[in-house]
Structure 1
Amino acid sequence: MSARTHTRTPSPSFGGVDTRLPWWALVLPVAAFVALFLLIAGPDGAPATAGDPTVGRLLEQIQQTLPH
């Protein structure tokens, strides 16, 4: 009696690599974006950095060193 062999169907991905993302690979970046957006857009976000000139100087230095 012969045994049945299982044949694999060709996957649509390139090189046989699984291209599906886990659920957290989309949720975590979206949650981080929303959290940062809420920090920036909040009414208390802008005055909190106004009292610390170090952050402003650091941002100016980064802007000056980056090519335009």
Structure 2
Amino acid sequence: MSAPTHTRSRPATRGGAEARLPWWALALPALAFVALLLLILNPSDAHAAADAPAITPLLEWLRQLIAR
């Protein structure tokens, strides 16, 4: 004998969850990815660059700050 199936009389709700993401939900992971990418890049490997990039002192300062 088969059991009766129950169908919903109204569509399922989302529970009040917002369907759209706020701008920072995409910006923060992208910013974190760029920051980590900059941290792993070694400017000494760039043979075409004549001078060290201007961001190098900032990254060195951040590395020293984190190492404390």
TM-score (norm: length of structure 2): 0.38
TM-score, normalisation: structure 1: 0.38
